[in-house]
């Protein structure tokens, strides 16, 4: 027998003993006549399930697409339809084992087929239960992890696997660090972090429905809940893995300093976002104009960035620090009223008093121009070829666009000027050619002689 493997004087792991136990289990359960018959039955069931899925699944998907369910419901049905192979194989094995038991009256063992049936049933149940998880990668990871643990338990080797993983490790003071500890810690952290993110997402969705709070307060409370849940999940996960938090006291200062320098921009954006929410200088729904010309409304304020959506449905993800360090125009800060203006000119033949009154009346025609703040038109200059006016009016819903309203006002002015025969002058230019002959003088044509 090979000598046992010992790591730092911890629990001994004997590879030879595990190999002998595996050979004994294989000889008792696999390398037998009954197991060969059951193996053929299992292979037939899996192949039959595979071909049935090839035939049935396209038709199921086509039927699912024709239903009136929501996209999430259709996706769940599609995921379940992929289990056609496992369900078919399970039914065939169930019928096959029942017929075998009735035919041979218990003289032949069906333990191998029953183990495969248990594995298939576990996979089907797990995949059904995890359809509540929308993320495909997370759903597959959860399913594989849970099914692996269930398979070890079904095969009766879960305790041996746990002991083998626990044997590979080392002592760090009073703490035992082993492969089992790492796996348990990773699983605990993963599950707790996912639960924390799911709970925070649910809390944020509920907060959006609370109309008694301002939009910035709802976002701020949601972010505080998310941070608290993530921190609590990390602490519980590390503690559940058996890790003593006092072990990190020695190098926590160095790690914190390194993280501070490496994540300086991230931390700056995080606290800038918190500051923006607390002082309410920018909040979801505000109309923002950036120095680089970006104009739109605040759709979402995250931990690192703020999403600004323009009228052409482009989303600009701007770091929160930008709103602290740069000049930003908030069109709806404190008041939703926004004043727009249209500049125009008319011919000198028209009475400027009449033009002023006509422009103010025309500006009231578009529905989005507010009536409680009446439009005002001013004569601002005596131009070279026109009387220059500026028409100013107010709107209160800039998130619906400003260019469209300005265009409606200009069309209303055009219709009013056309109805009252008011001319809009345009520049006229006369071009003089110094070298041109006087009018009426014929131009002599130059003659050329061909060379002999």
Is residue 304 within 8 Å of 352, Cβ to Cβ?
Answer: no
For range 318-343, the mean pLDDT:
84
Rounded mean pLDDT of the chain?
Answer: 77
Q: Are residues 324 and 347 in the same domain?
A: no
For range 151-179, the mean pLDDT:
72
Residue 450 placed within a domain: no
Which of 250, 272, 304 is the endpoint of a domain?
A: 250
Q: Are residues 185 and 233 in the same domain?
A: yes
Q: How far separated are the first and last CA of the chain, in Å rounded?
A: 122
Where is average pLDDT lowest: 199-208, 216-225, 243-252, 329-338? 243-252
Q: Are residues 51 and 134 in the same domain?
A: yes
pLDDT of residue 452: 47
pLDDT of residue 258: 60
Residue 8 placed within a domain: no
pLDDT of residue 145: 82
Q: Are residues 130 and 69 in the same domain?
A: yes
Residue 5 placed within a domain: no
Q: Which CATH number is 305's domain given? A: 2.30.30.60
For residues 387 and 64, the model is more confident at: 387
Token pair 């701007």: residue: 318
pLDDT of residue 375: 93
What residues form DSSP beta bridges with 308?
298, 316
For range 225-235, the mean pLDDT:
82
Question: Mapped to the 3 state alphabet, what secondary structure does the chain carry?
Answer: CCCCECCCCCCCECHHHHHHHHHHHHHHHCCCHHHHHHHHHHHHHHHHHHHHHHHHHHHHHHHHHCCCCCHHHHHHHHHHHCCHHHHHHHHHHHHHHHHHHHHHCCCCCCHHHHHHHHHHHHHHHHHHHHHHCCCHHHHHHHHHHHHHHHHHHHCCCHHHHHHHHHHCEEEECCEEEEHHHHHHHHHHHHHHHHHHHHHHHHHHHHHHCCCCCCHHHHHHHHHHHHHHHHHHHHHHHHHHCCCCHHHHHCCHHHHHHHHHHHCHHHHHHHHHHHHHHHHCCCCCCCEEECCCCCEEEEEEECCCEEEEEECCCCEEEEEHHHHHHCCCEECCCCCCCEEEEEEEEECCCCCHHHHHHHHHHHCCCCCCCCCCCCCEEEEEEECCCCEEEEEEEEECCHHHCCHHHHHHHHHHHHHHHHHCCCCCCCCCCCCCCCCCCCCCCCCCCCCCCCCC
For range 327-351, the mean pLDDT:
86
Q: Are residues 321 and 354 in the same domain?
A: no
Q: How confident is the model at residue 10 (pLDDT cuts 50, 70, 90)?
A: very low
Q: Are residues 286 and 343 in the same domain?
A: no
Residue 275 placed within a domain: no
**C-alpha torsion sign, points 243, 245, 246, 251:** positive
Which of 296, 330, 364 is the endpoint of a domain?
A: 330
For range 211-229, the mean pLDDT:
75
State what percent of residues in the chain have pLDDT above 90: 14
pLDDT of residue 4: 37
Q: Are residues 142 and 182 in the same domain?
A: no
pLDDT of residue 169: 66
Quick: pLDDT tens for 102-149. 665 555 666 777 778 888 888 888 888 887 777 777 788 888 888 888
Checking if the pLDDT of 186 tops 70, the result is yes
- The pair phi, psi for residue 83, each rounded to 5°, is -85, 10
Q: Are residues 81 and 220 in the same domain?
A: no
CA distance 14 to 9: 14
Q: How confident is the model at residue 221 (pLDDT cuts 50, 70, 90)?
A: confident
Tell me the pTM: 0.45
Residue 227 placed within a domain: yes
For 360-393, letters b (16+ CB in 10 Å) and e give bebbeebebbbeeeebbbeeeeeeeebbbbebbb
pLDDT of residue 251: 52
Residue 28 placed within a domain: yes
Checking if the pLDDT of 39 tops 80, the result is no
Quick: pLDDT tens for 265-306. 777 777 787 778 777 788 888 888 888 888 888 888 877 788
Q: Which CATH number is 368's domain given? A: 3.30.70.100
For residues 68 and 422, the model is more confident at: 422
- The pair phi, psi for residue 382, each rounded to 5°, is -95, 100
Checking if the pLDDT of 88 tops 50, the result is yes
Quick: pLDDT tens for 51-70. 888 888 888 888 888 888 88
Residue 441 placed within a domain: no
Q: How confident is the model at residue 48 (pLDDT cuts 50, 70, 90)?
A: confident
Please give the structure tokens belonging to residue 326: 């740069």
Residue 443 placed within a domain: no
Which of 210, 231, 250 is the endpoint of a domain?
A: 250
What residues form DSSP beta bridges with 319?
305
pLDDT of residue 332: 74
Q: Are residues 19 and 158 in the same domain?
A: yes
Determine the structural domain holding residue 311 and report its residue range.
281-330
Where is average pLDDT lowest: 30-34, 218-222, 355-359? 30-34
pLDDT of residue 13: 47
Q: Are residues 190 and 296 in the same domain?
A: no
For range 70-84, the mean pLDDT:
82
For range 92-109, the mean pLDDT:
68
Q: Are residues 58 and 157 in the same domain?
A: yes
pLDDT of residue 98: 76
What total number of domains does the chain contain?
A: 4
CA distance 67 to 74: 8
Q: Are residues 161 and 23 in the same domain?
A: yes
């Amino acid at each position: 027998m090979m000598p046992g493997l010992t790591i730092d004087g911890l629990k001994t792991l004997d590879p030879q003993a595990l190999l002998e136990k595996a050979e004994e289990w294989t000889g008792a359960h696999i390398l037998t006549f009954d197991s060969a018959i059951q193996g053929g039955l299992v292979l037939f069931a899996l192949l039959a399930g595979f071909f049935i899925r090839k035939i049935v699944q396209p038709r199921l998907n086509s039927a699912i697409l024709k239903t009136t369910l929501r996209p999430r419901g259709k996706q769940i049905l599609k995921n379940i339809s992929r289990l056609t192979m496992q369900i078919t194989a399970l039914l065939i094995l169930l019928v096959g084992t029942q017929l075998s038991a009735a035919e041979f009256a218990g003289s032949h063992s069906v333990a191998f087929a029953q183990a495969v049936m248990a594995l298939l049933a576990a996979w089907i149940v797990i995949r059904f239960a995890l359809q509540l998880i929308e993320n495909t990668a997370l759903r597959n990871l959860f399913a594989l992890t849970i099914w692996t643990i269930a398979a070890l338990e079904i095969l009766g080797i879960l305790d041996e696997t746990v002991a083998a993983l626990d044997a590979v490790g080392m002592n760090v003071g009073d703490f035992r660090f082993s492969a089992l500890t790492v796996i348990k810690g990773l699983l605990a952290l993963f599950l707790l972090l996912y639960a924390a993110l799911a709970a925070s997402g649910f809390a944020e969705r509920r907060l959006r429905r609370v109309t008694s709070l301002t939009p910035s307060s709802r976002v701020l409370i949601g972010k505080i809940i998310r941070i608290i849940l993530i921190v609590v999940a990390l602490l519980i996960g590390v503690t559940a893995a058996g890790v003593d938090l006092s072990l990190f006291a020695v190098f926590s200062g160095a790690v914190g300093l390194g993280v501070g320098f490496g994540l300086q921009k991230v931390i700056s954006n995080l606290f800038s976002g918190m500051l923006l929410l607390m002082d309410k200088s920018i909040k979801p729904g505000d109309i923002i104009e950036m120095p680089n010309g970006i104009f739109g409304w605040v759709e979402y304020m995250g931990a690192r960035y703020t999403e600004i959506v323009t009228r052409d449905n482009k989303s600009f993800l701007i770091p929160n620090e930008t709103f602290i360090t740069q000049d930003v125009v908030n069109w709806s800060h404190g008041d939703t009223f926004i004043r727009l203006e249209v500049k125009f000119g008319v011919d000198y033949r028209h009475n400027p008093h009449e033009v002023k009154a006509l422009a103010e009346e025309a500006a009231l025609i578009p529905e989005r121009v507010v009536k409680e703040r009446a439009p005002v038109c001013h004569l601002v200059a005596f131009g070279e070829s026109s009387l220059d006016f500026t028409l100013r009016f107010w709107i209160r819903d800039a998130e619906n666009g400003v260019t469209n309203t300005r265009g409606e006002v200009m069309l209303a002015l055009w219709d009013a000027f056309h109805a009252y025969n008011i001319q809009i002058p345009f520049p006229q230019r006369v071009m003089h050619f110094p070298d041109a002959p006087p009018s009426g003088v014929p131009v002599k044509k130059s003659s050329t002689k061909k060379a002999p």
